[in-house]
Amino acid sequence: MSKKTLFKGSGVAIITPFKDGKIDYDAFGKIIDFQIAGGTDAVIVCGTTGECSTLTDTEHRECIEFTVDRVAKRIPVIAGTGSNDTAYAIELSKHAVSAGVDGLLLVTPYYNKATPKGLIKHFNLIADEANAPCILYNVPSRTGCNIQLSVYKELAKNPNIVAAKEASGNISQVAKLIAECGDSLDIYSGNDDEIVPMLSLGAKGVISVLANPMPRVAHDICRLWFEGKVEESAKLQLKYLSLCNALFSEVNPIPVKTAMAAMGFCTEEMRLPLCEMEDENKEKLLSVMKEFKLI
């Protein structure tokens, strides 16, 4: 079953800037414009990197609406609307669709988790009710829940489930997934240090944290690959590996928000339980950023 590809290349898992306890929409607008000017191929708003867990329901909805308006159809907007409460995920997804998003990012249920049967029911119901293109988000390190191949194969039958963001870090699992579901499910890398390996297996791109400070680099790693310049793409991936590692030296999005603040885009403000970086890790991050002339 061939489905429409939401985007090809680098989609930024965009941060949500805060100031004095509120979303800083001035900063947010500038970050969105910086992304588009830098060649980012899609904006993924209110995901893990956007600190969705600590947004109020009103903030979550407003954040999605603001992004759709600011992007103004220049590139696709995909909203994180997943939840461990199926009914709430449906409600939020419907709102995002009415706001004009191009697609939805649905994380696996966390904490309460689910059986394979429960996952199938959960995702199918959201996709059917929202009636919009959905990307499944598999990140077992955060959720304690892995999408098994048999579950992917069943969900790939749903015409509204068009892709998966694979952040399991298990390349073997991804290879099997693409071998079995490649015609009916687009795959995106969920890890910046695995863009090229995933592209080599047939992935359509990446949903990237690296793209926040370096949109052009994340875009070009994908662009070069798609142009057949495999060696150049791999060289670029490896060149920025130290930055990718520094951006994950603490729990995401702590380092990337620190990086964006150092570049003058926003404050370092995060919402508890996330907090400022340890001095030693921050020093290393800023040192790597200086190497790449980001600051």
Residue 175, SS3 per DSSP: helix
> How many Å apart are CA 160 and CA 4, to the nearest integer?
10
Q: Is 272 exposed, middle or buried (0-12, 13-18, 19+ CB in 10 A)?
A: exposed
Q: Using an 8 Å Cβ cutoff, are 114 and 142 in contact?
A: no
**Catalytic, out of 30, 88, 137, 239:** 137
Q: Using an 8 Å Cβ cutoff, are 206 and 11 in contact?
A: yes
Q: How many residues does the chain have?
A: 295
Burial 155-167 (b: 16+ CB within 10 A, else e): bbebebbbbbbbb
Is 137 known to be catalytic? Answer: yes
Is 110 known to be catalytic? Answer: no
Helices 215-226 & 230-239 angle (0-180, nearest 10): 160
55, two tokens: 């947004």
> How many Å apart are CA 154 and CA 157, to the nearest integer?
6
**Catalytic, out of 152, 165, 204, 257:** 165
- Residues 6 or more apart in contact with residue 67 via CB below 8 angstroms: 14, 28, 32, 43, 45, 77, 79
The total of other beta-carbon atoms located within 10 Å of residue 241's CB is 12
- Residues 6 or more apart in contact with residue 85 via CB below 8 angstroms: none
Active site residues: 137, 165
